[in-house]
Every structure is written in C-alpha cells, then in structure tokens.
Amino acid sequence: MPFKETCPVEERIALMRAYEAGFFSVSDLCRRYGISRETFYVWKDRFESGGARWFEERSHATGHCPHATPDRLAERIIATRRRFPYFGPKKIKAFLERERPGIAWPAASTIGDILKREGLVEGKRRVRRPIEQNAGVGAASAPNEEWAIDFKGWFRTRDGTRCDPLTITDSSSRYLIELRIVEPNGAGVRRALERVFAEIGLPWAIRCDNGAPFGSTGAGGLSTVSVWWLKLGVEPHYIRPASPQDNPRHERMHGVLKEQTSQPPAATPRQQQARFDRFRRHYNEERPHEALDQAPPATLWRPPTRVLPTRLDDPWYDADHQVRRVRSNGTIKWRGQEPFIGEALAGELIGLVEGENDCALARFCGRDLGLIDHYGRFQRFAPPRTRLRSAPETAVMVDGETAVT
C-alpha cells in the first residue's frame, strides 16, 4: 500500500503504545499503520521529547495574515448564519453575493472556518478506527487451499419473495461448491456451511468481504461466523473494503450467474432454487472455463481431506499467555479493569501476552486482536487485509455490476 505522510491523532498514540509494548519491530509497525519509517521517527522523536501534547500537529501558520477576512465581513457572515441556522457555508456565500454583489466575499471554506471558530458548526463525532494490518497474498494454487464466499445481490422472485443466494467457490479450480437460498445472517450462513463442511470437508482458508455476517468492525474484524472458522482451523481472508478486484474469480462467476438464472427471476423461491441447481451442475461439469484451458471446473476439483470435527475444543495458548474467557457482554477481567474486547468473542478463551509499560497483546487462535494499555483501554486491530499480489483477471461491468474476466 502507498505510505502515508502522517496518521490521525489516535493512530499516533496507538503507534507509540505499540512501540513501547515491545511486541513489534519498527518495520512491523510501519506496515501495520501504513506509514514510512521517516514518519515513524518523526513521531517517535516528538513522543520522547516529553511534551504533554506531542501527538498534535504543529501549526505552520504565520503570526499575521494580511489576507485575513475583515471583521465587518466576518460579523455579517455570522449574522447570516444566526438568521438562517440551516445554511451551510456555500448557501451563506450565495445569499450574501445576491444581497450585496459589490463585495468580495470570502470562499466557502473560509466562511466555514469563521463559523467553526464562532461555535456555529457542530463537529461530527469521530469514530476510532482500528489499526490496519495489510498483507499481500498470492492466488490459491491448489483445490481447497482457499474458498470464496459471498451473497449474490438479493432480488425478488415473481411472487414477491426475497431471494438471497449464498455462493461458495473453490478459488483454484473455480468449482462452484454451493449455491443456495439462505437467510442473510450469521445463523443462516452457519447452517449452510455446517451442511457443506459435513458433506465434503474443510478448506484451509475462506476469502470474504468485511461486512456481516462474515466480518465486523470489532476486534480483528471478526464476527461470530469467522470466530467459528478460526476454531475449525479455517483462516478468514478479508479483502480490502470496496475492492471486488481482490476476489476476482468469485465476482466473475456472479456475473455469469445473474445473466443465466435471474433475468427474469423465477416465479417462486423453489423454482429459483431449481434454476440454481441446474446452473451449478452446468457450471461445474459442462461449461468450459477459459482460465482452465477450456476445461470445466469439475475436472480439476477434488474434495478436501480435512473433515468437520465432532467436537470443537477451546483454543490452546503457549505458557507465556494469560488466558481469559470473554463475558457475554464482550468484556474481560484484566488487572482490575474490564476492557471491552468484542461480543463476537463472547464465551471464547483469548490469550494475553504482557509487554513493557503494562501493555498486553490480545490474541485468539493465533490472530492478534489488539492492545490493552496500562489504563485498561483496548485498541482493536483491523483484520489483515489480503490483496492479490498478481491478478490476471480484468474488472469489467456486467449489467451494471462489477465483474472480472
């Protein structure tokens, strides 16, 4: 990913906490936060200077600006805002230019600054962003090394019933493992996957997007579904947000699926599922695939050797981990504090590794969830975003939707 020249205030603070904790090298921290080493050392020097507000940007403004807006114009701008409290800077500028066209009114951005200084503009609540972790991965080269899962965009059958088709493909052979109408929630996805896992076995990883029910905005980007995957030994591979090019083979299949099964839709969900079943057989056994030298996917796919376990045990942690079970409200007990880890992990055992300055790194099934600082605050990590290092497919539009060829 391209390096950022700086980072938000909360990321600067989290960066130095992570550095002090001693878990990561400078290179690891720069990669996680998407900054250059030069930027890291700038903030390290300011942090070590001992200044109470070291994390704030330093003003580069001059002491006197000859082009500052005159007080009489600023007063007129403020009066207009008080008269029309729902007018933003652009509307205020347009109103004043109509009212007094002979005056050189300031730009809308300057009007916005004036209103902000006067306290007439409410700031938006800032959401604390998780710490990014970025990783590049190659495309799957063997069957069941990675599957891809997603919901094809919902539509209604002719009787008005909503239809949410869940699709699962093998990333290497392009084999369409599952194509079924299910409830678009965690319970529906889990039931469908339990049936698939029981019938054919487990993959090593599943590529998916970041939204529910596969991911979340919580620690590690995990949802109840992906927590279950990790306990099964299946690694979630989250793509970057709004990046269908990171799941190109699955997106291409979706384009073909829509064209051949839902334009127009069937009369009822049962008839639509019958269409899906016919399409799946055709796609796997008859349809030549250009990326497979015109062979159908069924000629290359084979069932996985890993089977669904009859019992799901708690994860195991090394002796240097302290173990805590996440409560039903998503918190744990840690040094007299109750940091919130995430409701998706409720009932699960997590491991905590103590570092320097009373910080602790929280882990689940080998995945880093975030850092607990000496105040008991939890700084969550985003999931490692997996982008393909090389993708021969090219994104195109199919009936107004993004697809890949």
Spatial separation of the C-alpha atoms in residues 325 and 330, rounded to whole Å: 10
Six-digit token string for 114: 């004036």
CB-hemisphere CA count at 13 Å for 352? 21
340: which DSSP letter?
B
392: which DSSP letter?
-
- The lowest-confidence range among 79-88, 213-222, 315-324, 386-395 is 386-395
- The lowest-confidence range among 5-14, 25-34, 340-349 is 5-14
Where exactly are the structural domains of the chain? Answer: 71-117, 133-307, 322-387
User: What average pLDDT does this structure show over 17-22?
Assistant: 86
- Domain 133-307, CATH homologous superfamily name and number: Ribonuclease H-like superfamily/Ribonuclease H (3.30.420.10)
Q: Quick one: which H or E segment has residue 236?
A: strand 235-238
Count of H-run helices and E-run strands, the chain: 10, 15
Its pTM stands at: 0.67
Strand partners, 337: 334
38-95, pLDDT tens digit by residue?
A: 989 988 888 888 887 887 877 666 666 667 888 889 999 999 999 888 788 998 998 8
Confidence band, pLDDT 50/70/90 cuts, at residue 393: very low
284-317, pLDDT tens digit by residue?
A: 998 888 888 888 999 999 999 999 999 999 999 9
Spatial separation of the C-alpha atoms in residues 236 and 225, rounded to whole Å: 10
User: What average pLDDT does this structure show over 127-136?
Assistant: 58
Q: Helices (DSSP H) in 49-185: which residue ranges?
A: 71-83, 89-99, 108-117
- Report whether pLDDT(3) > 50: no
Give 58: exposed, middle or buried? Use CB within 10 Å, 0-12, 13-18, 19+. Answer: exposed
Between the alpha carbon of residue 99 and those of residues 69, 96, 103, 115, the distances in Å are 18, 5, 10, 19
